[in-house]
Structure 1
Amino acid sequence: MSETIIQLEHIDITFHQKKRVIEAVKDVSVNINKGDIYGIVGYSGAGKSTLVRVINLLQVPTAGKITIGKQVTFADGKVQLSAAELRQKRQSIGMIFQHFNLMAQKTARQNVAFALRHSDLSKAERAKKVDDLLELVGLSERADNYPAQLSGGQKQRVAIARALANDPEILISDESTSALDPKTTKQILALLQELNRKLGLTVVMITHEMQIVKDICNRVAVMQNGVLIEEGSVLEIFSHPKQALTKEFIRTATGIDEALVKIEKQDIVEDLASNALLVQLKYAGHATDEPLLNEIYKQFEVTANILYGNIEILDNTPVGELVVVLSGQPAALEAAQRAIVESGVELTILKRGA
């Protein structure tokens, strides 16, 4: 059974500004297990960054309880630890940010070493640790470069090395790839996955992009207006999203909306034959192993013209979708639809032939 490392129970965070009361986070409960790469996704104003400040122990919640490891840190609006214990607990949590937060006047090596300024290590031990960390993030040859001499991806690698300096159990990434190009983003995500495996690090990804969640996370929570609206494994959420916002995020991440705009302009769809249906098929796991469309033709003489296809591996499980024109006699089309649904494939009719 997995060990819970972060437990949030009924967290409320309310701010009072002059005559306004802002409920930034409302009744959020989350369990994050040791070794998870856990995504918290939502648009600006969803409450993600406020929730992060609770997780990294910088914000005392108005109500609710937070447990990090086995220690209750905040409960009922009060800190439950001594100042020294709180400081030590914060050291078990590393942070990386969108804009790197490096000191411009210090080299990569000096930026990482700065995180060890209160360490009990000797000068030699400190120097070796910094070198080891820069090697771990693939930046040894840039150790003496200043931030201005580094690319965005290299700056983020320095920031990751600095965040790991105090051997944290938890690494929080707050929109850490938002300022990076797509190729560099993939490299940084691959590095975070490697650190998760190599160090047993628990990673919490705060993002507004479901693509990031899809690429790296094993679990995800979706937030909207301070409320956690949906939570589960990435496979569950992508296969069976329940909330409208989650569906919107997933459509953006898979590119299906963009594909449908182009598909609808194709002649075969604009002039859809009277004996045809334009359908979207979504499937996961074992359903991807079956030659389903071949079987539909064999059994019902219903042909399938595939206009779009996408398949991905989420949590070691194939998940995909197709947009297909099915053509055949009315009764055969009905029977084919039933057979598709019975095989565990989700079918949505997008258009019927006139």
Structure 2
Amino acid sequence: MANEMIKLEHIDITFQQKKRVIEAVKDVTVTINQGDIYGIVGYSGAGKSTLVRVINLLQKPTAGRVVVDGDLLFDQDKTVLSASQLREKRRDIGMIFQHFNLMSQKTARENVAFALKHSALTKEEKDKKVTELLDLVGLADRAENYPSQLSGGQKQRVAIARALANDPKILISDESTSALDPKTTKQILALLQDLNEKLGLTIVMITHEMQIVKDICNRVAVMQNGVLIEEGTVLEIFSNPKQTLTQEFIQTATGIGEALTKIEKQDIVANLAANSLLVELKYAGTSTDEPILNQIYKEFDVSANILYGNIEILDHVPVGELVVVLSGQTDNLASALTALEKAGVSVVILKRGA
């Protein structure tokens, strides 16, 4: 059985604002295993950051239990650890943020060293560690630069090095790539993935972008209005999203939503022939290896006109999506759809020919 690193059970977080009671998080239960890259996704105000701040008790829940690396931190309405025990526990949890939070008057090296201020290491050991950390994040040559001399991606690398200074077991990333351009975002995500593999680091990613989840996470939780509405492996959620919000997120991440809008305007779709169907096909794993469309043409004389195609590798599994116009005799079309579903392909009929 996988080692549970973080267990949040029935977490409620309620704020009193003047005469209003705001339920920021409502009865959320989440288990994050050691070595997971766990995405928590939702729009602004969904309660993602508030929930994650519970992991190191920067936010105390109104109710629930918090267990981190086998230690009970919080139970029902009280902190179980003493102030010094909690301080010690927080050293196991590094955090990186959207705006880097670097000190502008200190060099990259000094910013990282600052995290070792209360460490028992000697000055020589601290210097050696800072050098190693900057090397680990690919910034050995920028150690003496000030934040103003660094690009956004380089600043985030300094922030990551600083977050790793006390050898944490958990790294929390709160929208850490939101201020970066797409290319730099990819580089930072690749770095986080590398750290996850090299150091066995458990990473919790808070984001409003399903694209980020798709690129790096192995599990994902979707939040809306303080409630956890869907949770599972990235493969499960992308292959079979149950909730409307999750479906919206995935359509944006895969580009299918935008593609469908354009496809609907094409002549072949706008004036869909009587013996034709516009279908969306989704398939995962071994079914991506089969020439299925070829087979339905041979067996049922049903031709497929591909209008859109996309294939991703999610958690090492190929997942594909096609939008096609299938044309053939009515009975043959029905048989072809049955054959597709038998082959493990999910079929959604988007439009029938008039």
TM-score, normalization: structure 1? 0.99
Equivalent residue, structure 2, for 1:176: 176
The amino acid across from 1:60 in the alignment is K
- 1:199-229 Cα offsets, whole Å, 9 max, x none, are 0000000000000000000000000000101
The amino acid across from 2:56 in the alignment is N
Q: Aligned partners of 2:8 and 2:36: how far apart in 1?
A: 15
Deviation at 1:52, TM superposition (A): 1.5
Aligned residue pairs total 354
- Structure 1 consecutive aligned stretches of length 4 or more whose deviation exceeds 2 Å: none
Equivalent residue, structure 1, for 2:245: 245
Root mean square deviation of aligned Cα: 0.7
Equivalent residue, structure 2, for 1:65: 65
Q: Aligned partners of 2:240 and 2:38: how far apart in 1?
A: 18
Deviation at 1:262, TM superposition (A): 1.4
Q: Aligned partners of 2:31 and 2:72: how far apart in 1?
A: 14
Deviation at 1:168, TM superposition (A): 0.3
The amino acid across from 1:217 in the alignment is C
Deviation at 1:57, TM superposition (A): 1.9
1:285 aligns to 2:285 (yes or no): yes
Q: Secondary structure at the match of 1:54?
A: coil
Q: Aligned partners of 1:169 and 1:102: how far apart in 2?
A: 22
1:30 aligns to 2:30 (yes or no): yes
TM-score, normalization: structure 2? 0.99
What are the residue-to-residue correspondences of 1:218-229 with 2, within 5 Å? Answer: 218-229=218-229
Relative to structure 2, which stretch is displaced further, 317-326 or 285-294?
Answer: 285-294
Equivalent residue, structure 1, for 2:15: 15
Equivalent residue, structure 2, for 1:203: 203
Question: Percent of aligned positions with the same letter in both sequences?
Answer: 77
1:46 aligns to 2:46 (yes or no): yes
The amino acid across from 1:186 in the alignment is K
What are the residue-to-residue correspondences of 1:1-354 with 2, within 5 Å? Answer: 1-354=1-354
The amino acid across from 1:39 in the alignment is G
- 1:131-186 Cα offsets, whole Å, 9 max, x none, are 00000000011111000110000000000000000000000000000000000000
Q: Secondary structure at the match of 1:119?
A: coil
Relative to structure 2, which stretch is displaced further, 165-174 or 70-79?
Answer: 70-79
Q: Aligned partners of 1:298 and 1:281: how far apart in 2?
A: 19
Q: Secondary structure at the match of 1:55?
A: coil
Unaligned runs of 5+ in 2: none
Deviation at 1:124, TM superposition (A): 0.8
The amino acid across from 1:150 in the alignment is L
Deviation at 1:56, TM superposition (A): 2.2
The amino acid across from 2:165 in the alignment is A
- 1:45-94 Cα offsets, whole Å, 9 max, x none, are 10001012101221111100000011100111111001110000011000
Unaligned runs of 5+ in 1: none
The amino acid across from 1:48 in the alignment is K
Q: Aligned partners of 2:74 and 2:60: how far apart in 1?
A: 6
Q: Aligned partners of 1:300 and 1:34: how far apart in 2?
A: 49
